[in-house]
Structure 1
Amino acid sequence: MTVSKPAPTAVRPRAVPVESSSAGRDTPGRDEQLPRVRFAYDPQTWKEIAHLLTNLPMSVVGFVYVMTVLFTGATLTLTVVGLPVLALGLLGARLIGRFERGRARMLLAVRVDEPSPLPLRRAGNVFQGMWLVLKDPVAWRTVLYDFIRLPWGILTFVVTLTSLFVLWPVLPFLARGLTNADRAMVRALLCPSDELERRIAELESDRGVVVDTAAADLRRIERDLHDGAQARLVNLAMGLGLAKEKLLEDPDAASLMVDEAHGEVKLALQELRDLARGIHPAVLTDRGLDAALSSVASRCTVPVQVTADLPARPAQAIEGIAYFTVSELLQNVSKHSGARSAAVEVWRVEDRLLIQVRDDGRGGARLDGGTGMRGLADRLGAVDGVFVVDSPVGGPTTVTAELPWRDRTEPTA
């Protein structure tokens, strides 16, 4: 019996925009109507004057920092510490950019989104993380912003300070005109480019995760072959060789050795089947995800109810990831949960494949808990999926996985 399930509460993480008032918000990269010039010393005008007067110290700090980082990084690139120093400098530039966006929001009423953070935790190693920082477009645009701001900061400071004592009647006009230029620079250089930059950074990090995962899988297969089936086949060859030597002089002993070799063959075949099942089970290829999940559920140490509501089969890659995700989660249920029962539900919602595994065990599962959860999250993230763990201490545990649905293009067996 199949049951259609509503979509779980797990949703894809997205960049959260800065909320604005009901009057509207500025959208980076679009033509926007700048505030009209008005002749009044209202609170906004005083904020704009404060922004113009603080342009000079901020531009000096930014220019000195940028020149120090670039000069030091370029000088030390001939040594092993050059690139790490430059990467740290770019991370600092990101912080300066965050401060400048905050200053623009507070004093210029510019509603500018914060760029997504760099996915450094998903980098495979220190070098991949450093390369991710060195290629960060947000940091480099902040560097450009700080580099060109010094002459502008001097100009706006001098004009504003002079106007306070000399051109008082027209200062609101000047302040609004000068801060309009500031707004344009903030939008052009400090705003994130929609979701493109975030997606580029995520995909670059995901590529490293996929490569590392594939390498780890190959090492596991090599180790299993070397320690399992290969060792049994070597013993089998040696046993058959001894049986051949004793065939004429001691037929009974030779017969006993052949029987032992037959047993070794059966064990080797079973280990090879188990290894093949771990790579890609035949039942998944032949009968699909529903039958494959029922098969893996039957090997769990607790009763598992499987419910699948899939109108069609997804692409082989998505089907395989879904199978191995459920397989590892049920292994965790068997080994760590202390549960009496579990349930697996799989269904499709629009262009997403939803998986939910529940158990009534002791709970306390975490992504960093050492039970393979982090690896599962990384694997799903590499294909634009989502992995959510809800496991309070004392239970129950609910793990929700979400994968992109891709139609199966090749014919099934």
Structure 2
Amino acid sequence: MTSDTAVLTLAGRPLPGLRGRVRQLGVDTGYALAGFPVGVAAFVVVLTGLAAGSGLLVVWVGVAVLAATLLAARGFATVERAWLPAVLGTALPQPAYRHPEGRAVRRLTTPLRDPQTWLDALHALVRFPFAIFCFVVTVTFWAGALGGLTHALWGWALPDPSRDPGHDDLLEVLGFDSTPLTRIALYTALGLLFAVLLPFVVRGGAVLQATVGRALLTSRAATQAQIGRLSEGRDAAVAAEAVALRRLERDIHDGPQQRLVRLGMDLARAQRQLDRDPDAARSTLGEAAGLARETLEELRALSRGIAPPVLADRGLAAALAAIAARSPVPIELSVDLPAERLAPAAENTAYFVVSEALANAAKHSGATTCEVVVIAAGPALRVVVEDDGHGGAVQAPGHGLAGLADRLRAVDGVLTVDSPRGGPTRLIAELPL
């Protein structure tokens, strides 16, 4: 049984400005302070459980001990994963553990057969020194900052080194005279230094510890998520291709095939008329020639829908201009692309998105005008097609919009349809470059 991965869809974003930095400092501090007792408990429980379970395997009791230990490690890992998005500022995939199934013995050994639970146990052991380091650094810098900045309020309670020869402070160790004012000045300056360094040091320790957790607790889930996305993309590409082939078959059957049947009948009729009525035969041949031209034009139109030559020869902008020129609905076209050609997959997908959207608008929406905007913005290509029709477009299975969504999903793209009743209809396709 394989594990699936649920991927979070919303990524955390660091808050800007002073308020965001203060909040991040609070999150990092809480993570460091809470991580120490949790790390100690996890280390003790997992190490003890693994040692006891391994020693008791000869009498089979160790299997239950190891299973319980791995479940405990899973619990500690769940606590750690809850902290990671806030500390790292990004959403992370969550692994799906194996579910117990089968008879009692097989259900008991489920944690032992799940690779992620062993990674959880490894994290409990590896994390321990990082948790100690992060805790010590955080407590030290907080104590130095708060203690130094408030020394003027509580320093009077300490023995005065200038009056008590048995007590030396930092100033006397450094060879300076120790007076109340110099002590306040020195410790306030040190407190200010600690306060300035505090956010950076605490942040560094928290990120170090969180990176260890991310590597052991979410890396496998991220790999599974990538595999899942690739599988979905492959399935979407197959589905889109099947829909396109069925539509092509239907278009050929309803168009060129019917015209060719009629063309054959006209030619047979002209052959019969040739001897007894040459004028009628010439008229029939003229009709047949016109029908042949119409069939050729229709076949060319279908071929443009499969692999338009202008797209391969001149690029996406020229191909879109050709679509706009042929469209029965007036098109307002705006294209903003880099000077270099885009990847073939991106160009083909964007072309078919615009072509299908305009075809749907001409056939079903009753639109009087359409607007097409294609822009390469950063790492993504954004395609927007909007018409002023009556709306109501939906991504029904087996229809054009569903095929577009599958085609986009095959290249890790996304299709958004906004088409309320009464219009307008707005299609937004985003695909990576």
Q: Normalising by structure 2, what TM-score?
A: 0.52
1:142-161 matched pairs, under 5 angstroms: 143-144=114-115
1:322 aligns with 2:293: no
Instruction: From the CA coordinates, give the structure whose radius of gyration is larger.
Output: 2
Q: 1:345 aligns with which of 373, 377, 384?
A: 373
Q: 1:243 aligns with which of 266, 270, 280?
A: 270
Contact kept, 8 Å, 2:120 with 2:216, in 1: the verdict is no
Which amino acid letter does the alignment assign opposite residue 143 of structure 1? D
Deviation, structure 1 residue 110: 11
1:191 aligns with 2:162: no
CA 1:256/1:21 → structure 2, altered by over 3 Å: closer, same or farther? same
2:306 maps to which residue? 279
Deviation, structure 1 residue 344: 1.0
Other structure's SS at 1:384 match: coil
Q: 1:214 aligns with which of 241, 250, 255?
A: 241
Bigger fraction of residues in helix: 2
Q: 2:336 aligns with which of 309, 323, 327?
A: 309
CA 1:47/1:105 → structure 2, altered by over 3 Å: closer, same or farther? farther
Deviation, structure 1 residue 218: 2.8
CA 1:254/1:286 → structure 2, altered by over 3 Å: closer, same or farther? same
Contact kept, 8 Å, 1:18 with 1:111, in 2: the verdict is no
Question: Superposition RMSD on alpha carbons, in Å?
Answer: 5.1
Contact kept, 8 Å, 1:141 with 1:189, in 2: the verdict is no
Deviation, structure 1 residue 360: 3.7
Distance in structure 2 (CA, Å) of the matches to 1:347 and 1:385? 15
Distance in structure 2 (CA, Å) of the matches to 1:105 and 1:402? 30
Q: Report Cα offsets for 1:20-55 as digits up to 9, x if no partner.
A: 9645679xxxxx999446xxxxxx799989x99xx9
CA 1:372/1:231 → structure 2, altered by over 3 Å: closer, same or farther? closer
Other structure's SS at 2:220 match: coil
2:93 maps to which residue? 115
Q: 1:288 aligns with which of 312, 315, 329?
A: 315
Distance in structure 2 (CA, Å) of the matches to 1:353 and 1:107? 34
Q: Report Cα offsets for 1:262-296 as digits up to 9, x if no partner.
A: 23212221221221122123343444333332332
Contact kept, 8 Å, 1:332 with 1:371, in 2: the verdict is no
Ranked by relative contact order (alpha carbons within 8 Å, sequence separation 6 or more), the top structure is 1
CA 1:225/1:143 → structure 2, altered by over 3 Å: closer, same or farther? same
Distance in structure 1 (CA, Å) of the matches to 2:312 and 2:81? 55
Which amino acid letter does the alignment assign opposite residue 353 of structure 1? L
Contact kept, 8 Å, 1:356 with 1:399, in 2: the verdict is yes
Contact kept, 8 Å, 1:353 with 1:402, in 2: the verdict is yes
Distance in structure 2 (CA, Å) of the matches to 1:350 and 1:336? 34
Q: Report Cα offsets for 1:177-227 as digits up to 9, x if no partner.
A: xxxxxx999878753437432222101121122123223323333343344
Which amino acid letter does the alignment assign opposite residue 115 of structure 1? P
CA 1:97/1:46 → structure 2, altered by over 3 Å: closer, same or farther? closer
Unaligned runs of 5+ in 1: 1-12, 27-31, 38-43, 65-92, 119-138, 151-182, 406-413
Distance in structure 2 (CA, Å) of the matches to 1:292 and 1:110? 46
Contact kept, 8 Å, 2:330 with 2:368, in 1: the verdict is yes
Distance in structure 2 (CA, Å) of the matches to 1:25 and 1:337? 54
1:123 maps to which residue? none
CA 1:187/1:292 → structure 2, altered by over 3 Å: closer, same or farther? closer
Which amino acid letter does the alignment assign opposite residue 375 of structure 1? G
Contact kept, 8 Å, 1:347 with 1:353, in 2: the verdict is yes
Count of matched residue pairs: 298
Deviation, structure 1 residue 242: 3.8
Deviation, structure 1 residue 255: 2.3
Deviation, structure 1 residue 381: 1.7
1:255 maps to which residue? 282
Other structure's SS at 1:388 match: strand
Contact kept, 8 Å, 1:104 with 1:110, in 2: the verdict is no
Q: Report Cα offsets for 1:348-397 as digits up to 9, x if no partner.
A: 22343222222344445444598633321221121122323344555544
Contact kept, 8 Å, 2:24 with 2:87, in 1: the verdict is no
CA 1:25/1:268 → structure 2, altered by over 3 Å: closer, same or farther? farther
Distance in structure 1 (CA, Å) of the matches to 2:223 and 2:119? 25
2:404 maps to which residue? 376
Distance in structure 2 (CA, Å) of the matches to 1:333 and 1:262? 32
Greater shift, 141-150 or 323-332, is seen at 141-150
Contact kept, 8 Å, 1:386 with 1:402, in 2: the verdict is yes
CA 1:337/1:248 → structure 2, altered by over 3 Å: closer, same or farther? closer
Deviation, structure 1 residue 249: 3.2
Q: Normalising by structure 1, what TM-score?
A: 0.55
Distance in structure 1 (CA, Å) of the matches to 2:289 and 2:41? 88
CA 1:117/1:205 → structure 2, altered by over 3 Å: closer, same or farther? farther
Unaligned runs of 5+ in 2: 1-7, 15-22, 50-62, 97-109, 122-209
Distance in structure 2 (CA, Å) of the matches to 1:391 and 1:140? 48
Contact kept, 8 Å, 2:259 with 2:291, in 1: the verdict is yes
CA 1:244/1:201 → structure 2, altered by over 3 Å: closer, same or farther? same
2:294 maps to which residue? 267
Which amino acid letter does the alignment assign opposite residue 284 of structure 2? M
